[in-house]
Amino acid sequence: MISYKKIIKFTLKIGLASLVLSQLVVAHESRIITNGDGDQLRITVGNSPEPVFEDQLVRTDLFLNQIAPDGETLIPIDVSAGASIADLKAYVMSLKDEVHVTSFRDRPVRRTMELHDISQVRGTENRYQSPLIYTRDGAYGFRYVGTIITNDGTQFDIDEFFVCGGGSQAEPRDDGSIPAFGCVREPITFP
């Protein structure tokens, strides 16, 4: 017969595991970009799913939202509603360390590769992805460069670098932690 103590312990373990996994899944870095007219864009970058393991098909995650003049309301950048990311290019960088870079020529950059097929995720208004397979574990980063035109025609010219883990440039959360997407891990193997 199963005791109530065992049921409670099991429930607590499942709850804790769910909490840990939910934190891994939302591991993305957000940044605010301001254009010359003072308009703001929130760009959020990461991988889907997280955590990421080498030799596994994943998708780069890119969320785009215009920040309304009230400074709080997020307006999804939706290509099906007139927005455009046609000029946007994405690159993945293999890095030696988890440090922020500002150029492909920076010392930590091992290799770069352009990602193709950045497309809007079906059923979403502001989420875009590109397929990718990381071939080694370690630090990686993304560079997004080009023009994003919002639903109302506002233009943002961007050239932003995002790096996993300790290379994040995101503002710290209230608890002091830094929101960042995870670096690539070796797959777990069983004997």
Taking the C-alpha atoms of residue 125 and residue 135, their distance in angstroms, rounded to an integer, is: 31
> At 6, is the secondary structure helix, strand, or coil?
helix
* Residue ranges with strand state E in 10-154: 29-34, 40-48, 57-67, 74-76, 89-95, 109-115, 119-120, 127-133, 139-149
Instruction: Answer whether the bond into residue 49 is a cis peptide, omega within 30°.
Output: yes
**CA distances from residue 129 to 49, 58, 73, 167 in whole angstroms, order as listed:** 11, 9, 23, 21
Reported confidence tier of residue 94, pLDDT bands at 50, 70, 90: very high
User: What domains can be seen in the chain, in order of their start residue?
Assistant: 27-167 (2.60.40)
Which secondary structure element, helix H or strand E, spans residue 21, and what is its range?
helix 4-25
CA dist 108 and 181 (Å) reads 18
Number of H helices, E strands in the chain: 1, 10
Mean per-residue pLDDT, 101-106: 93
Q: Residue range 157-169: average pLDDT? A: 92
Mean pLDDT score of the chain: 87
pLDDT bucket at 119, cuts 50 / 70 / 90:
very high
Q: Tell me, what's the pLDDT at 169?
A: 86
Work out the number of other CB atoms within 10 angstroms of the CB of residue 81. Answer: 12
- Please give the structure tokens belonging to residue 157: 């010219």
CA 138 → CA 19, 44, 187, distances in Å? Answer: 25, 21, 12
pTM as predicted:
0.81
Q: Look at the alpha carbons of 12, 18, 24, 27 in this order and tell me if their dihedral is positive or negative.
A: negative
5 vs 62, higher pLDDT: 62
Average pLDDT estimate for 19-26: 41
